Structure 1
């Protein structure tokens, strides 16, 4: 206590009994100190605590200047782009800690670190640029994060003399008297102060095929009957950040709008962990005409939510607006060639872990098989049910029963809370085409697209190619949701032509054409931000092409002696071109020769000469023709010594 304050206390206590004077002053001093500490703690509890920076944009300059020359910017989840001196590059985020972001150049695999503490941009450990600005104010002063505020306990709840006759000053309880309000504040503060990286929590590690291949890939060549099959193998990777979780396993667990779940690896694998803490009411809405007003669900859980959904849909079924209603266009279709089950799932928009037995079997790929697999994935959304977003995290809990201690027992930085924001109801159809016909990725995908939607206009020559694929294919269909009678039409018949039209015309929700949950979105309870799941797959991309073997026929009908040399290149078993050559010397009229070539022979050169009888030029050219490949044509030599000619004729398709 300073002298002036002490003087004030002395002036006001001059009349007190001398034995108690010093003790009373001491009590007053401690009481005022407690009030000051309580005021400080209350103020600090209302301030936002500084946590590790979450930077999305970094301006940079040369090391000897402060003038910006470009920037690094996160353009989507985990994907960065730099624009430096007009040059663009893309990077994949590898990791980030409190003050650094670690990137990898997509093209060169060069390691780039953005050190926000030292304001340096390092390339493979060498400083190349300096940081001049970022999108986060928190990193500028670099203060130490405040992790906890000490709780101040009141001195007393009442004013009463002690056994020494001292009077204690009552200090109000800092937490207030309303336990529910206290719980709301404590729960909200706890959840908002959770510190986690959503990118890593919901990232599914890359799986799939790993095969050591030389740079540029590996070519394999194999004769097969009257053709040659050549396959090019390349190591590849595909990744997607999915903001919707597809439901392909009806028995995978309970997913409903408004469900509280953990945002952990189980969610990333399609099996979210439900949270069963007592809940506050939620409001659900459905995007059907005349249903703008939502429904409030008390004590939300699977049974009460399902009852509420049934009630909403029945109300709509009885609404005249439902008559003749056609669903808005919520139809998506993806067609992809399969190299592995994991790659196929990622490119179709989900993780292979999310699929149940039937869907999983449809996506199974045998990499040792000669057959090619292509899959079409259809999603038809009949309607979507959405939960109103909470204004603060504690709004989803019954805070008369749930305390901050209950919440901290369930949630942590490794298992933060999330909720199912919306659920799509409708139908999923998957079609697997397996063919013995070798074709490119483009040809296989286009053939399946045309098979399910034959109204597409295509060239007659291309249609012939697709017909060859269809005639050598078998089909498997998986359907979930919608009318069972409709589904049976294309499942039982194994004839998928017109399937897309069937799906589109049967896209109306009704009692007889109900939808099932086919996808859902998730948001973090901390801030209502969408939770994206990053899935990826390593795979060997194998592209096989069939080359029909062909021939070239040579005929000599000229009035001269001829000699012919034929040179070409053809791949060996490893796909490496090897030079080939055949010579036919001094042939007379009537001579013929049929040469057979593998379908992938290239650069075929036919050089024919005639004997002239001239000492200074004993041989004269008849023809010197280079073909890109075997032409299935006849090349006839005719004429006289002084008028040598040839013609190409009788070409076969």
Structure 2
């Protein structure tokens, strides 16, 4: 009997021990699972239902334009022609074409410093500030998500699981992953994926959208360097080079937008912060690299007036390698500036000569090739562009813009043709008048023919074509044999409209006068 009790007690103790071990194992297993993810939000279903039920029109919200599926749509709205105001006796016949330019962007260049709202996976408010390149961070509890760095050989070291996301946390994880890649990539050098775009500059806003660097996204520092206009004295072309070393993308939340939000947020909080008027979007990818802008300026001449200056710019950087004497001549007489935009959107500006394109440190080709085009710890990529998606359905957040601009092309300058000047003699004496002027191409005065007027007569004349700084001089004579005496003069400059003058008054002792043209 005693033996039976001992056996029963041993069995009972073994059972208790087995139960305790099972309980510990179960609890440990549960703890490990919790390390890999968060508890599901009890409001997730209702939050998903609310977010998926939002009825905003994304195209209306972000002013998307109808461009027929193309990045830009350009329409010639009107045309006119006319002569330029005369300068030193010269004028040109100019043809003006007015254009309307609509553009859509889903890849936003970073042209503002200190964009704290922008990092991979960041939640932002889809409002007008998105259009301005300065999105508002969405003040809401954020959920976990996964980022991937697309560098060869980085493997799982480039998969970043983000818990309790913030810009500082994400930046730190990215820096750590890149440091691992720098230390372990060996000979695996990564050349930049370079994309270039060039355009003739007619207005700053027009060219910025044609080359993909929308000035609407820029702060004053960047905008001031990109602000430039072509006119009848100078022509400008601009080229942008985007060197992308790598891109970091976020795994989309599939059909459950609530996964991007924290696990303790309530439906009421979501409804307060995310609405049809201000839906949520997230930064789905960020590209890292460099941005260069090459600006070419040349005088407006007969040779350059009709040539496609952007094609000359392409030729200058060997995009088009076929020798062209006309383009070479334009390059040699042009000035160039190279702008580099860093990760904090600071702009470095350096003048370069045409000889620096193919050789020499600091030149354009040097800046975009060789070791400068390879990712390394000494040549890191910085954030240069990002894309956004709507939280509701992961659709790309496309943004639309409109601008109007004019293209002015002028014929070579010609001598200005002056309008007529009519002079009537209603004075008591015989009179005469003549023009003083500087001739076309000269910087000295000549005196033109003197036109005599008897009492009651009139005469119409005009200065020679191309004359400038024109004056008209009036003289009167008392008696048949009296001396001619100047009684007035007027500065005409260029006679752009018909003029009339009249001699009046006078007696035996008075030469009379010309109203409005006294001495």
Shift of the 215–308 alpha-carbon distance from structure 1 to 2, 3 Å rule, reads closer
Instruction: Give 1:224 deviation, angstroms.
Output: 7.0
Contact 1:238/1:347 (8 A) holds in 2: no
2:323 counterpart residue number: 458
Matches within 5 A, 1:154-553: 180-203=40-63, 215-221=78-84, 229-293=92-156, 294-319=159-184, 321-327=185-191, 330-366=193-229, 370-391=233-254, 392-399=256-263, 401-438=264-301, 439-440=304-305, 442-453=307-318, 456-464=321-329, 466-467=330-331, 470-471=332-333, 473-481=334-342, 491=350, 493=352, 497-498=357-358, 499-500=364-365, 502-505=367-370, 506-546=372-412
Unmatched 5+ stretches in structure 1: 1-177, 207-212, 550-596, 599-653
Instruction: Quote the Cα distance in structure 1 between the aligned partners of 2:398 and 2:64.
Output: 11
Query: Structure 1 398/375 Cα, relative in aligned 2: closer, same or farther at 3 Å?
Result: same
Higher RCO (CA < 8 A, seq sep 6+): 2
1:491 deviation in Å? 2.4
CA distance, structure 2, for counterparts of residue 302 and residue 183 of structure 1:
26
**Other structure's SS at 1:342 match:** helix
Q: Structure 1 residue 430: deviation in Å? A: 1.1
Question: How far does residue 433 in structure 1 lie from its aligned partner after superposition?
Answer: 2.2
Evaluate the alpha carbon distance shift between residue 285 and residue 442 of structure 1 in structure 2; reply closer, same or farther with a 3 A threshold: farther
Q: Which stretch has the larger CA shift, 449-458 or 213-222?
A: 213-222
**Cα distance, 1:235 vs structure 2:** 1.4
Equivalences for residues 523-602 of structure 1 within 5 A: 523-546=389-412
Contact 1:382–1:426 under 8 Å retained in 2: yes
Tell me the equivalent position of 1:137: none
TM-score, L = length of structure 2: 0.62
CA distance in 2, matches of 1:248, 1:264: 18
Q: Structure 1 residues 214 and 342 mapped into 2: Cα distance closer, same or farther (>3 Å)? A: closer
- C-alpha distance in 2, partners of 1:341/1:381? 24
Instruction: Give the whole-Å Cα distance in 2 for the aligned partners of 1:269 and 1:513.
Output: 30
Decide whether the 8 Å contact of 2:280 with 2:392 is kept in 1: yes
2:429 aligned residue:
none
Q: Deviations over 1:511-532 (max 9, x none)?
A: 1111111100001111111111
| Alignment CA distance shift 1:322-1:441 (3 Å) | farther
Q: 1:503 to 1:475 in 2, by over 3 A?
A: same
CA distance in 1, matches of 2:143, 2:404: 44
* Structure 1 pair 477–459 and aligned structure 2 pair: CA distance change class (3 A): closer
Instruction: Give RMSD over aligned pairs.
Output: 3.3
The CA distance in 2 between the partners of 1:365 and 1:269, in whole Å, is 20
Q: Paired residue for 1:588?
A: none
Q: Tell me the distance in 2 between the aligned counterparts of 1:366 and 1:190.
A: 49
SS in 2 for 1:251: coil
Secondary structure (helix, strand or coil) at the match of 2:409 reads strand
TM-score, normalisation: structure 1: 0.50
Relative to 1, partners in 2 of residues 1:327 and 1:536: Cα closer, same or farther, differing over 3 Å? same
Following superposition, the deviation at residue 460 of structure 1 comes to 2.6
Gaps of 5+ in 2: 1-37, 67-75, 359-363, 416-464, 467-519
Q: Is the 8 A contact 1:346 1:536 kept in 2?
A: no
Give 1:359 deviation, angstroms: 2.7
The alpha-carbon distance between structure 1 residues 375 and 492, as it changes in their structure 2 partners (threshold 3 A), is closer
**2:474 aligned partner:** none
SS at match of 1:408: helix
Q: Distance in 1 between matches of 2:77 and 2:161?
A: 61
Q: Give the CA deviation at 1:357.
A: 3.0
Residue aligned with 1:216, SS:
strand
Cα displacement (A) at 1:243 = 1.3
Deviations 1:385-416 (A, max 9, x none): 111111211001112x2111111111111111
Pair 503,215 (structure 1): closer, same or farther in 2 beyond 3 Å: closer
